[in-house]
Chains A and B, each alone.
Chain A
Amino acid sequence: MTSTLIIDGLRVEVAGKEVLKGFDLQMRSGEVHVIMGPNGSGKSTLAHALAGHPGYTVTSGSVSIDGVELLELSPTERARHGLLLAMQQPMEVAGVRPLDLLVAAGASPEHLRERMDDEARRVELRPEVLDRFVNVDLSGGERKRAEMVQFGVLRPKFAVLDEIDSGLDVDALGAVARRLSQATTEWECGVLVITHFKRLLQELPPTMIHVISGGRVVATGGAELSETLERDGYEPFRVTND
């Protein structure tokens, strides 16, 4: 079944300052959308607001999956409706094991460890790392890949990946891109990638690229847009507004 994620006029404040100023985006199952933009443009704010981070206040707008308004739901319910955020800086949760987290998150316990190990191998993460507590004693790159294990097990309808490529070497980056690309066909996952780098997109062909600046989308286009960005930087797209 094809699902639709609609973000409409989203405005978000952080510590009393408006960062997202009417963000719009629409995407469907199996599509890959990419958000690129300079530092401070609101990329991570979007990711955090979608997942209901307590430090981010939505002042207006709507986020829905198949007509269900997510902003009225708790972070837990948003995840259960099919939205998963893979974080730029995944948190350490000492004393909690990845397997217990996934069971509590609703993953079927059947062959769970095998599925986790399989997902780990697909992103070139040593499965033993999953014996450790969530993100504790993991390198930056291992944390990113551990997020991908959760992604692969939980199989969300839509995944938001906030700079999943930072901290990964070229080989790991390729593996993560391939895993995401496969997900778009395996269960028609809709993939929303926030990134600075074109490299991720070599093995994860984008349906659409959105350039964000000053808290809203200022340009949308196909893969060619990333070439323009690579060449000219964000300056031509920069907007100043307050």
Chain B
Amino acid sequence: MVPISMKSFADSASLFIAERSDAPSRQVAWEAFEFAGLPTTSDEVWRYAPLHDFALDRFTVVAEPKSAADSSFAAQLCERAGLAIRVVDGFCVSSGVTVDGVTVEAVESAQSLSGSTFTTRYASDTFALLNIALAPTTTIIRVAAGVNVAEPIVVLNVANSTSSFSRTQIFLGRGSSATIVEYFEGGADALVVPLSEYEVGDNASLQLVTYQRLEATSWHVARTTGFLSRDARLRQAVVGIGAHYNRSRNDAEMLGAGSENELRTTFLGSGTQVHDFRTHQLHHGARSRSTLLSKGAVADTSRSIYTGLIEIEKGAKRTDARQTNHNLLLSPGAHADSVPNLDIRENDVMCAHASSVGPLDELQRWYLESRGVTRDDAERLMIQGFFYEMLANLPPQLAELVERDVTSVLAAVNVVTP
């Protein structure tokens, strides 16, 4: 049953799908979505989402991208990139300049990098199903085997309409390397549902930064999955600042022996924001390694949830998996929850997790103060430091730009010292 509140969204969705009748998988995904319906807060994984103020009918599926000027930050980001790909409302509107060894295309595709179809892969994920039905295209970036892309690639995702479903796939061929930034902005009163997949080939290395700076009135429900071959490295940083509800699910499957995933996620909550981070590191390959660091700060009456699962399959011998979560409370009205989980089916492994919720480290703050830094400045430096740490993978010219942007956001956040 489709609830009444979904009706006008459903009309625009049906029209969108009807115009793409050569892609039957869209209709399959839509029907799966309708069958599943929207989640409710009685589902454990949606328990903290402010679903009471969510209604699909506030959004419309658009037939074409709405044009508007990008922010000056976006423009600067693109200027400093070797290749900038512009995606508006999920439509790939520009695939940038030509870079040797890199191809960019936007295609109609139903195939997940997992080997199955998108619909099969994401059958239990309601919002992913919406993306599968309604993303206008799959933007595919391929880095050829053995190519080291010197300059960073920026994927600029702008949401100008009330809904934006973008889908991105990144392939790194054997022995290649690249640094890619996925940046999100816009999204006023919009539903933004990106779906990304990354395949990192044998001995290839992908450094990835996802920087989410959507408007505070948007709903952002994102999902990323990395698939790592033998000795592949995926270093991913996910920085979430914007959105009314910011949900970010970041998974990695270490399929090949010796593969390595480093995931750092961070967020800054203010106002009544909810940041909802989910991670899943699946160890299949022997000697695979994962390091997960989640650090966030919540101010005002915002809240955060971190739920991480490390899963080690039988046979993934000598894997090493580490998970750390630190949450910082910047006001008495803010709240943070941390739920680490382990599922280990192999004995010969190293696995550790730690989590904490509290105020800033008093001794670190004192150290800064004892140099002559004021308490306010010390706290700002430390909170800013959460984000700077996340950007350590970026080349300096991009890190500097993003750091300045983060600093400007932080300057507006109210810190109440307990």
A-B contact count (CB 8 A): 83
Q: Contact between A94 and B371 (Cβ–Cβ < 8 Å)? A: no
Q: Contact between B384 and A76 (Cβ–Cβ < 8 Å)? A: no
Q: Give a binary string over A45-72; 1 marks a CB under 8 Å from any B CB, 0 the rest.
A: 0000001111000000000000000000
Instruction: State in angstroms the CA–CA spacing of A97 and B388 once bound together.
Output: 9
Q: Interface with A: B10-18, B351-359, B373-381, which one?
A: B373-381
Q: Which residues of A contact B367 (CB under 8 A)?
A: 87, 90-91, 93
Q: Is A106 interfacial (CB 8 A cutoff)? A: yes
Q: Contact between A104 and B389 (Cβ–Cβ < 8 Å)? A: no
Q: Contact between A76 and B364 (Cβ–Cβ < 8 Å)? A: no
Chain A residue nearest to B369 (CB atoms) is A75
The residue from A74, A85, A93 contacting B382, defined by CB atoms under 8 A apart: A93
Q: Contact between A93 and B368 (Cβ–Cβ < 8 Å)? A: yes
Q: Which residues of B contact A90 (CB under 8 A)?
A: 367
The residue from A53, A95, A101, A104 contacting B386, defined by CB atoms under 8 A apart: A95
Instruction: State in angstroms the CA–CA spacing of A57 and B368 once bound together.
Output: 19
How many chain-B residues does the 8 Å CB contact rule pick out? 23
Q: Which residues of A contact B364 (CB under 8 A)?
A: 91-93
Q: Is B37 interfacial (CB 8 A cutoff)? A: no
Which size bracket describes the interface of A in this complex? 20 to 34
Q: Contact between B370 and A52 (Cβ–Cβ < 8 Å)? A: yes
Q: Is A186 interfacial (CB 8 A cutoff)? A: no
Q: Contact between B362 and A76 (Cβ–Cβ < 8 Å)? A: no
Q: Contact between B372 and A106 (Cβ–Cβ < 8 Å)? A: yes
Q: Is B146 interfacial (CB 8 A cutoff)? A: no
Residue from B372, B377, B385, B389 with most neighbouring chain A CB atoms (10 Å): B372
Q: Is B245 interfacial (CB 8 A cutoff)? A: no
Q: How far is the CB of A51 from chain B (nearest CB, A)?
A: 4
Q: How far is the CB of B55 from chain A (nearest CB, A)?
A: 39
Q: How far is the CB of A146 from chain B (nearest CB, A)?
A: 12
The residue from A79, A105, A133, A154 contacting B385, defined by CB atoms under 8 A apart: A133
Q: Is A84 interfacial (CB 8 A cutoff)? A: yes
Q: Contact between B371 and A133 (Cβ–Cβ < 8 Å)? A: no
A75-B381 contact in complex given A80-B372, A95-B386, A133-B388, C-beta closer than 8 Å = no
Q: How far is the CB of B400 from chain A (nearest CB, A)?
A: 11
Q: Contact between B375 and A104 (Cβ–Cβ < 8 Å)? A: no
Q: Is B387 interfacial (CB 8 A cutoff)? A: yes
Q: Contact between A53 and B366 (Cβ–Cβ < 8 Å)? A: yes
Q: Is B363 interfacial (CB 8 A cutoff)? A: yes
Chain B residue nearest to A83 (CB atoms) is B370
Instruction: State in angstroms the CA–CA spacing of A154 and B373 once bound together.
Output: 12
Q: Which residues of A contact B377 (CB under 8 A)?
A: 104
Chain A residue nearest to B363 (CB atoms) is A91
Q: Contact between A76 and B373 (Cβ–Cβ < 8 Å)? A: yes
Q: Is A14 interfacial (CB 8 A cutoff)? A: no
Q: Contact between B370 and A95 (Cβ–Cβ < 8 Å)? A: no
Chain A residue nearest to B266 (CB atoms) is A95
Q: How far is the CB of A131 from chain B (nearest CB, A)?
A: 9
Instruction: State in angstroms the CA–CA spacing of A90 and B370 once bound together.
Output: 11
Q: How far is the CB of A48 from chain B (nearest CB, A)?
A: 9
Q: Which residues of B contact A75 (CB under 8 A)?
A: 366, 369-370
Q: Contact between A76 and B369 (Cβ–Cβ < 8 Å)? A: yes
Q: Is A100 interfacial (CB 8 A cutoff)? A: yes
Instruction: State in angstroms the CA–CA spacing of A150 and B367 once bound together.
Output: 12
Q: Contact between B388 and A95 (Cβ–Cβ < 8 Å)? A: yes
Q: Contact between B369 and A74 (Cβ–Cβ < 8 Å)? A: yes
Q: Contact between B369 and A94 (Cβ–Cβ < 8 Å)? A: no
Q: Is A170 interfacial (CB 8 A cutoff)? A: no
Q: Is A112 interfacial (CB 8 A cutoff)? A: no
Q: Contact between B368 and A104 (Cβ–Cβ < 8 Å)? A: yes
A52-B385 contact in complex given A76-B372, A105-B372, A154-B371, C-beta closer than 8 Å = no
Chain B residue nearest to A51 (CB atoms) is B370
Chain A residue nearest to B383 (CB atoms) is A95
Chain B residue nearest to A132 (CB atoms) is B392
Q: Is A239 interfacial (CB 8 A cutoff)? A: no
Q: How far is the CB of B209 from chain A (nearest CB, A)?
A: 15
Q: Which residues of A contact B373 (CB under 8 A)?
A: 76, 101, 104-105
Q: Is A218 interfacial (CB 8 A cutoff)? A: no
Chain B residue nearest to A97 (CB atoms) is B388
Q: Is A219 interfacial (CB 8 A cutoff)? A: no
Q: Contact between B371 and A101 (Cβ–Cβ < 8 Å)? A: yes
Q: Contact between A96 and B362 (Cβ–Cβ < 8 Å)? A: no
Query: Which A residues form the contact surface with B (CB < 8 A)?
Result: 51-54, 74-76, 78-80, 84-85, 87, 90-97, 100-102, 104-106, 133, 150, 154
- A-B pairs with the 4 shortest C-beta distances? A95-B385, A79-B372, A105-B372, A75-B369
**Residue contacts A-B, CB under 8 angstroms, 14 given:** A52-B366, A54-B362, A54-B363, A75-B369, A75-B370, A76-B375, A78-B370, A79-B372, A87-B367, A94-B389, A95-B386, A104-B373, A105-B371, A154-B372
Add 17 more A-B contacts to A74-B375, A91-B363, A106-B372 (CB < 8 A): A53-B370, A76-B372, A76-B373, A79-B370, A84-B370, A90-B367, A91-B364, A96-B368, A96-B382, A96-B388, A104-B374, A104-B377, A104-B378, A105-B373, A133-B385, A133-B388, A150-B371
